[in-house]
Structure 1
Amino acid sequence: MITKHVKVLILILCTWVQPSFSEEWLEEGDKFSFQTSVYTKHWNPKPEHNNNQKLFSIELNKKNRWLVGFAAFKNSFDQNTQYLYAGYTWALPETQDIGYFKLTAGPMHGYKGKYKDKIPLNQAGIAPAVLPSFGVSYQQFKSELVVFGAAGAMLTMGFEFPPM
């Protein structure tokens, strides 16, 4: 799963950083970030739950705190899943802009078969998703605690860098 998605993400990234895109969409202060999952906890664990999501995400974080991103991962039932999203981040008070709250929303695809009803409003294998997270960012390092509904939470780690 990761290899196929990594190739697609690299192709998208290469397209994004072309000069025409850079001049039109990227501004000074914008950053790309890559993240992967390092730990998952289900609130009510079941034997069929997968706790190794193998998440890979790429995100464009605008200097005005808006963001867009794409994540590929194994869902709680070990199915290949994709999440295309947009969102916003808010700096947490008293954290000197190191801590933040992030809210993303977008279509999620991948809950199929006997697990299709495990995500609300899953029509034709695509469901709307809203994911809150709390994060810390220091220099190029970032880590987030992503809450996925009433099912559980995932800890991610990654890095961010300015566009070329």
Structure 2
Amino acid sequence: MTRTGHLVPTHRLLPALLLASLLAPSWAQANGFFEYDHGLVQSSLVTTHYKTNEDDEEYNDQQNLIGIELHNPERWFAGTAWLKNSFDQPTWYFYAGREFPLWQPNEGMEVRAKLTAGGIRGYDGDKQDKIAYNSLGIAPAILPTIGARWRRFEADIVMFGTAGAMVNGGLRF
């Protein structure tokens, strides 16, 4: 239900349900799904917002993100991140995702893509409608990234829709 007491239309939930079914491991992959392979702690290094016209608001480009991910041997992972959103509000992102290897020139280096899906909590007050489907205070999010790993160091470019991009850096443990 929404805050006004009306049910959320089913067609609004279909994209999230479809993505969840795509990201969920099949029963064949479930054997070992909860095995721990490595963790990743990361922080935002650079953020930029795309401005479409001169009337655009001033956005916060200092996200101060701190995040942690837990990965299994099958390249599935779950994570959470705390950050300051585009409007300088404290925000949480809870997500699950998968890595997709693209190129591995040697054992210590890899280029890969990641796709995460989850919920964002923190767009409040007069900024609540600045993120789609946030009527319940938690908005669905799908974030693609492209990145690289060199030994224990990882870096990713995270695209957040048509709003902007962020560069994150982190260490595996």
Bin of the TM-score, shorter chain as denominator length: 0.7 to 0.9
1:43 matched to which residue of 2?
Answer: 50
Shift of 1:43: 1.0
The residue aligned with 2:5 is none
SS at match of 2:94: strand
Give how far 1:79 is off: 0.3
Equivalent-residue separation in structure 1 for 2:34 and 2:73 (angstroms): 12
Instruction: Name stretches of at least 5 consecutive residues in structure 1 with no aligned partner.
Output: 1-23
Query: How many Å separate the matches in 2 of 1:88 and 1:49?
Result: 29
Residue 42 of structure 2 aligns with an amino acid whose one-letter code is Q
Out of 40-49 and 81-90, give the one that drifted further: 40-49
Partner-residue secondary structure (3-state), 1:59: strand
For residues 6-39 of structure 1, what are the alpha-carbon distances to aligned partners after superposition, in whole Å with 9 as ceiling and x for unaligned? xxxxxxxxxxxxxxxxxx9434xx0000000010
- Partners in 1 of 2:153 and 2:140 — Cα distance? 29
Residue of structure 2 in register with 1:33 after alignment: 40
What is the alpha-carbon distance in structure 2 between the residues aligned to residue 152 and residue 47 of structure 1? 13
Structure 1 counterpart of 2:148, one-letter code: V
Number of aligned residue pairs: give it.
Answer: 136
1:71 equivalent to 2:81? Answer yes
Aligned residues with identical type, % of pairs: 43
Question: Residue 94 of structure 2 is aligned with which of 84, 95, 104?
Answer: 84
Verify the 8 A CA contact 2:47 2:62 in the aligned structure 1: yes
Distance apart, 1:73 and its partner CA: 0.1
| Paired amino acid for 1:75 | N
Does the residue aligned with 2:58 lie in a helix, a strand or coil? coil
- Gaps in structure 2 of 5+ consecutive residues: 1-32
Aligned-residue offset at 1:47: 4.5
SS in 2 for 1:98: strand
Whole-angstrom distance in 2 between the partners of 1:120 and 1:95? 39
Q: Which amino acid aligns with 1:109?
A: R
Query: For residues 77 and 105 of structure 2, what CA distance do their matches in structure 1 show?
Result: 21
Aligned-partner SS, 1:111: coil
2:88 aligned counterpart, secondary structure? coil
Larger radius of gyration between Structure 1 and Structure 2: 2
When normalised by structure 1's length, the TM-score is 0.78
CA distance in 1, matches of 2:112, 2:51: 27
Say if 1:94 and 1:33 are closer, same or farther in 2 by CA, change over 3 A: closer
TM-score (norm 2): 0.74
